[in-house]
Chains A and B, each alone.
Chain A
Amino acid sequence: MAETTSGKSIHLRIWRQKRGEQKGRFENYTVKNVLDEMSFLEVLDLLNEDLARQGQEPVEFDSDCREGICGTCGLVIKGVAHGPGSGCTTCEIRMRPFRDGETVTVEPFRAGPFPVIKDLVVDRTPFDRIQQAGGFVAANVGSAPDGNAVPIPKEDADKAMDAASCIGCGACVAACPNGSASLFVSAKIAQLARLPQGEPERKRRAWAMVNQMDAEGFGDCSNHGECEAVCPKAISIENIAVMRREYLKAFIGGSD
C-alpha cells in the first residue's frame, strides 16, 4: 500500500537441518522491504524466492490454509510456539509488531515424538495414532437416527464445540516443558464426553487414547499451563481435568 512502501528489514536466524538424522544449525538471513500487512510466512516466502533465484535451497516449512484453521503450520518464533503473544497460528501472524532491524529466531516445534524431517518441517503422525486409538464415535453410515431425535442443551453443545475447535497443530506439545500431549488428547475426550453420542464408548475412549499418548513417548502433564498459553484456539486446560476424571473412571470401572 502506498503509505507503507518503505518497509522494515528483518534479520532471521533460522534452523536449517538437511535431514532428520543429520545435525542442524542456525543460519542468518535478512529480508528487506517487509511491510506491516505481510504475514510472517509471506516473509519466509520472500526469503525463499531470493534463495531460489540464487540457486540455493529454500527453507522448508509446512503451511497450507494460511488462515489459521488447518493446523499445518507451526514454528517456534522468538522461543514461543506460534510466536510471542500472538494468540493465533504462525500463518496468521502479521509483521506489525516486529521492529525494523530486529533479529528473529525461527525454529521447528521441538519434542521427542515430533522428529524433524527437514529444516522447520516435523513429523506429527503420533497425533493420528492417538486419534485412531479411540477418538471417534463408532457410528457407521446409514445407522443414524434423526438429527433432532436427541436434544442437546446449548451449553453442552457450546462446550463440546470449544473443545472440538482444536486444530491438531501440536503447539501445546512444543510449549510444554514435559512434551506432554495432554491438551490435544483431552480436547477430543472432553468434546465427546459432553455429548450423548459419545457416551457408550466413553470409558474405552479415555483409556485407549491416554494409553496411546503414553506409548508414543509424550510426557506427563504437571500443570505448567504453557499449552493453554500458546494454543491458537484457546483450548482450556479444564479439559485436562476432564480427561483425568474420565481416565480414572475407566481405571476404576473398567474400560468397557
Chain B
Amino acid sequence: MSTTKVLDARIPGGPLAAKWDRHAMDNPLVAPANRRKFTVIVVGTGLAGGGAAATLGELGFNVLNVCIQDTPRRAHSVAAQGGINAAKNYQNDGDSIERLFYDTIKGGDYRSREANVYRLAQLSTAIIDQCVAMGVPFAREYGGTLANRSFGGVQVSRTFYARGQTGQQLLLGVYSALSRQVKAGTVTMIPRQEMLDLVVDGGRAVGIVCRDLVTGELKRYAGDAVVLATGGYSPVYFLSTNAVNCNTTAIWRSFRRGAFFANPCYTQIHPTAIPQAGDYQSKLTLMSESLRNDGRVWVPKQPGDKRRPSDIPESERDYYLERRYPAFGNLVPRDIAARAAKVECDAGKGVGNTGFAVYLDFADAIKRLGRDVVADRYGNLFDMYEEITADDPYHTPMRIYPAPHYTMGGLWVDYNLMSTIPGLFVAGEANFSDHGANRLGASALMQGLADGYFVVPRVVASYLAGAGKAKTKTESDAFAAVERDVQTRYERLLAIRGGKTVREYWWDLGRVMWDKVGMARSRPNLEEAITRIRALREEYWQNVRVPGGARDLNKHLEMAGRVADFLELGELIARDALMREESCGGHFREEHQTPEGEARRDDENFAFVSAWEYAGENQPAAMHKERLVFENVELKTRSYK
C-alpha cells in the first residue's frame, strides 16, 4: 500500500491559543465591494451549510445554496435533541476553553488534530451569544440566565439546550438567517436538488451537477468555491438514528474526483436508542444522551432473568456503568456506554423479547425530583418512547440499545477545512476534523455552527482572495463530461430491471456492516465483510430493480444512486478498520483490548489520520497518513474509572 504522500494540514504557527487569530492576520481578505463578484456554492442547509451560506451572504458574497429537502428548515441537524456545548463557565464549576479542548481530545481518544479542536473550543462561546441574539429560546433559570446540563465524558455542566429539541431551535436560527439573506438577494436557495457529482477543472473545484428531484432534470452550477456540508454516512448500516434521506453521495462522488476520505472506520454507535423490533423497520429512534443525567442504566445480575423489571429487587440488579466507571457513572462517553451494553447483552443479561436491550430507569429520579421536574426535563422524549413502544417510562424503565448515530470520519480537510481538491471545502459532520475516534455528546451542534458561522466564511474568503475567480463556464466540456457520467450511471441503474429491490440490497449491506463492522471488529470478520460487500455490489449492478423513470419525481431512483455509493463506502470502512490494528474510541478491535475489556490504543504505530485516495473502479483505495502531533496534551490511556 502506498503511503508516500505526507499530508500537510497547514496549521498556523505559534502557540495553540493564538493560532486562529494569527491565521486571520496572515491570510488575505476580499474587500467588501469585490465580494459580490464571487460565487460560492454551498451544498446542504444544516447548521454547517446553512450557517455558512447565511454568513457568506451577510458578508456580501454571492451564494448558491442547494439542499435535497423541500425547504432548508428540514436539514437533519433539526433532529439533534440534547444540546450544544460551550465553555462559558456560567455555572462556575471550573470550565474553560482549555478544559473543553482537553475533554474533546480525550473524548476522541487522542485521534484528533489539536489545532482544530482548540479553535472549536474557542469559538464555542461566541456561538451561544450569536444564537441568543437571533432569538433561539434556550432553556433559562428563573433569574433569567441561561440554563445548563451535563453530557457524557465531562465533569462540568456546559451544555445549553432548548428542551429536547436543541437541534431544531438552532437550525431554525440558521434558517431564519438564511431566509433574511434570500430576501436580501445574496443567497439563491434551491431546494429539492441533489448534488450527484463535483466538477474539477484546472486542478480546482469549479461546480457541481445536481438532479432536480421534482423534474428529474440534470442541472449544472458553476462557482468559485464549493462547500460541502452534507452530513455523515451512518445509513451505510441501513438502520440508524439518521433521517431516511441522509446519504454519502456528495462526499463519496467528491472522493471519486480526488478528495481524500479520512478515518472512515470512526463511526459512532450511540448507546441509547429504542431497540429494533422487527425487520420491517425503517429507522431507529434515538433517546437523548441527556436522559443519562437522571436515568440509571442496569441489567439483571442473573443471565436469562425474564422477570418484569419491577419484580427484580435492588440486590439482584447490576448498575454496571456505575460499578465499572464510578468517576463518571452513567455519564461515560458514548463509545464506552455502547460497548458496555453489548458486553452485558452478549453475556445473556439483555432484557426484552430479543435480549438486545438494557434498562434506563428513572424511578430514583422521580423519587428525588418529583414527576413534574422529570416531565419538564424529558417529557417529549418520554412521550415519543411511549408512542413507539406502548410502555410508560414514568412507571416502567425504558429499554434501550445502541444504534449507529454519527460518523467522525469524513472527507479529509486541512486547518482551513479545505479538502485535497483546492476550492472544495467540507464542513460539519461531512468532514473528519474535530472529533477523533469518538465524538462527545452535544459537540456535533457546536462543530456545525463553529464551521458554518465562523470558520467557513473566513477560510473561503481568504481562498478566494488568493485563487481569484474560476474561469470554467457551465457550457464547458468539463461540465458536459461530468453531466454525461451522471446521466449514464442513472440510465444504467434504471435499465437493469432485475429481481431485487434497492431497499433489499441496502438492508443486506446494513446487516453485513452491523454484524462485521459494528461495535466489535476483528480481522476475520472484516475480511469476510470486504468479500461480502464486493459480492453484493457486483450483484447490485446486475440484479437491482429500480421502478419508474429518470425524468420524474422518483424517490426509488434517488435511493438507488445513494445505495450504490454506500456499497462502495462500506468496503472502505471495513478496509480502514482492518488497517487500524488498535482499539480507539468507536473503533474497537477484539484483538486489541485489555484484560478488563477496555480499548487498547497503539500510539506508537497508529497516532495518525488515515486518508484514502480513490484508485479507480473496484480498485482498493490507497492510504496516506497525516501524523498527529500532540504538543499540548499528554497521550494517556483514556480512563473514566
- Please list the residues of chain A having a beta carbon within 8 angstroms of any beta carbon in chain B: 1-3, 35-39, 41-42, 45-46, 48-49, 51-53, 55-58, 60, 62-72, 88, 92, 94, 96, 117-118, 121, 123-125, 127-128, 131-133, 135-148, 150-154, 157-158, 160-161, 164-165, 167-168, 191-192, 195, 197-198
Contact B69 A143 (CB under 8 A): no
B168 at the interface (CB under 8 A from A): yes
Complex CA gap A149/B547 in Å reads: 57
| CB-defined contacts of A127 to chain B, threshold 8 Å | 71
Contacts known (A67-B285, A69-B165); A136 close to B177, Cβ less than 8 A: yes
A146 to B126, CA, bound (A): 8
| Residue pair A191, B243 in contact (C-beta under 8 Å) | no
B65-116 interface (Cβ within 8 A of A): 69-74, 76, 78-79, 88, 90
Does any Cβ of A come within 8 Å of B577's Cβ? Answer: no
Of the A-B pairs whose beta carbons lie under 8 Å apart in the complex, a sample of 12, sorted by A's number, is: A45-B282, A46-B280, A64-B76, A69-B165, A70-B243, A92-B388, A123-B70, A124-B70, A128-B71, A141-B130, A141-B453, A151-B143
Establish whether residues B282 and A39, one from each chain, have CB atoms under 8 Å apart when the complex forms.
yes
Instruction: Name the A residues within 8 Å of B554 (CB-CB).
Output: 60
Indicate whether B29 reaches chain A with its CB closer than 8 angstroms: no
| Docked CA distance A158–B388 (Å) | 27
Interchain CA distance A151-B145 in the complex, whole Å: 5
Q: CB-CB < 8 A to A145: which residues of B? A: 129, 133
Do A72 and B74 touch (CB < 8 A)? yes
Asked whether B191 is an interface residue with its Cβ less than 8 Å from the other chain, the reply is yes
Q: Which residue of B lies closest to A118 (CB)?
A: B553
Quick one: closest A residue to B387, CB to CB?
A92
Q: Does B189 count as interface, using CB distance less than 8 angstroms?
A: yes
Q: Top 10 A-B pairs ranked by shortest CB distance?
A: A151-B144, A136-B176, A144-B133, A144-B129, A161-B137, A160-B137, A139-B133, A64-B243, A147-B132, A132-B183
Are B353's CB and A2's CB within 8 A?
Answer: yes
Which of chain A's residues have a CB closer than 8 A to the CB of B179? 128, 131-132, 135-136
Q: Evaluate contact between A68 and B71: CB separation under 8 angstroms.
A: no
Contacts of B90 in A (CB 8 A): 148
> Which residues of A sit under 8 angstroms from B388, Cβ to Cβ?
37, 92, 94
Min distance, Cβ B110 to any Cβ of chain A, angstroms: 31
B residues at A contact (CB < 8 Å): 54-55, 58, 69-74, 76, 78-79, 88, 90, 126, 128-135, 137-146, 162-163, 165, 167-169, 172, 175-177, 179-180, 182-183, 189, 191, 214, 243-245, 277-278, 280-283, 285-286, 353-354, 384, 387-390, 453-454, 457, 497, 501-504, 545-548, 552-556
A147→B278 contact, CB < 8 A: no
In the complex, the answer to whether A57 meets B547 with C-beta atoms within 8 Å is: yes
Cross-interface CB contact of B282 among A41, A51, A136, cutoff 8 Å: A41
Q: Note all chain A residues with C-beta closer than 8 A to B501.
A: 49, 52-53
| Cβ B74 vs Cβ A60 within 8 A | no
Query: Which B residues touch A68, using CB under 8 A?
Result: 384
Partner of A197, one of B70, B74, B134, B281: B134
Residues in B with CB closer than 8 Å to A46 are 280
- Inter-chain contact A66/B135, CB cutoff 8 Å: no
Q: Which of A69, A121, A143, A150 has the most CB of B within 10 A?
A: A69
Q: Smallest Cβ distance from B499 to chain A, in angstroms?
A: 8
Nearest residue (CB) in B for A195 is B135
Most buried by A among B175, B283, B457: B283
Contacts of B281 in A (CB 8 A): 42
Let me know if B553 and A96 touch, CB within 8 A: no
Asked if residues B280 and A45 are in contact (CB atoms below 8 Å), the reply is: yes
* Nearest opposing residue in chain B for A38, CB measure: B280
Which one of B132, B183, B545 lies within 8 Å of A144 (CB-CB)? B132
| CB neighbours of B143 from chain A (8 A) | 151
Whether the Cβ atoms of A66 and B140 lie closer than 8 Å is: no
| Candidates B176, B214, B286, B552; contact of A131 at CB < 8 Å | B176
Instruction: Write the nearest CB–CB distance from B276 to chain A, whole angstroms.
Output: 10
Contact B278 A62 (CB under 8 A): no
A200 to B175, alpha carbons, bound, how many Å?
A: 20
* Bound Cα distance from A38 to B167, whole angstroms: 26
